[in-house]
Amino acid sequence: MSSLVRQIFFQPDPSQGSLRRASGQRLAAVPLDFLIGLHLHLYERFAEKSPDLLYRSGYEQALQDMLRLNEELRAQYGGESFDLWQMDAKFILDTWWEPLDEAGWGRCTFDLAALTRGIGFADIEAGAIAEALGNAEHPVCHFVAGLFAGAFSFFERTERHATELQCVASGGSTCRFLIGPGSVVDSAETWRQEGISAVEIARRLK
């Protein structure tokens, strides 16, 4: 990341030993090796007891992100009359993802054409986890899948699940996620394990 980008998005404060966003929220800068080590450790430590630990961590983080975003937008747009759920889904999701992109989680494009049926797609380019854990047999971005499940669950006010249909770490051109009702996501996950492509799965669901 260039120093100019760092200056725009992040404000280092050596006296506090902290790095903050322009909004004041604290964050950490870590090398890719740290992400690799963290994932390997969590897999080894929790694979049997809690295989979906990363996914659930992402889910919880997105809920907290959305609560914070709701308050930020309320302050910005209209006080008590502001209603996040009356706003355009793409605007809300893009606004939610923006700081994650700035922080290195990758550029995200949402496809919400089937949202009336509770189904959404998200494509990520240059995501940190896929970059760190390249050369995998299966999708590895479980934390990110959890983020999407949490954000969509919050915005749709009903339980949504997510799965990664293709991953850069296992040869995909982008990391592509499906978000939707549990039964839909379970079907898609079964198809992916049978070797059906992300494009074909999306065609079946749209």
Q: Which residues bind Zn ion (CB under 5 A)?
A: 130, 141, 167, 175
**CA dist., res. 163 & res. 141, Å (int):** 9
What's the distance, CA 117 to chain centroid?
A: 21
70 versus 121: smaller Cβ distance to Zn ion = 121
| Residues 177, 145 contacting (CB under 8 angstroms) | yes
Q: How far is the CB of 122 from Zn ion (least distance, A)?
A: 11
The CB density around residue 26, as the number of other CB atoms within 10 Å, is: 10
Nearest distance from C-beta of residue 61 to Zn ion, angstroms: 17
Nearer to Zn ion, 92 or 169 (CB): 169
Least separation in angstroms between CB 118 and Zn ion? 23
Tokens of 143: 């934390």
Q: Which is nearer to Zn ion, 141 or 178 (CB)?
A: 141
Q: How far is the CB of 29 from Zn ion (least distance, A)?
A: 21
Nearer to Zn ion, 11 or 170 (CB): 170
* Structure tokens given for 204: 């079946």
Closest to Zn ion by CB, 92 or 175:
175
Q: Can you state the angle between helices 89-102 and 53-77, rounded to 10 degrees?
A: 110
Structure tokens at 170: 């296992």
In the three-class reduction of DSSP (H, G, I as helix; E, B as strand; rest coil), residue 27 is classed as strand
Q: What is the spatial distance between Cα 192 and Cα 195, in angstroms, rounded to a whole number?
A: 5
Least distance between Zn ion and beta carbon 150 (Å): 17
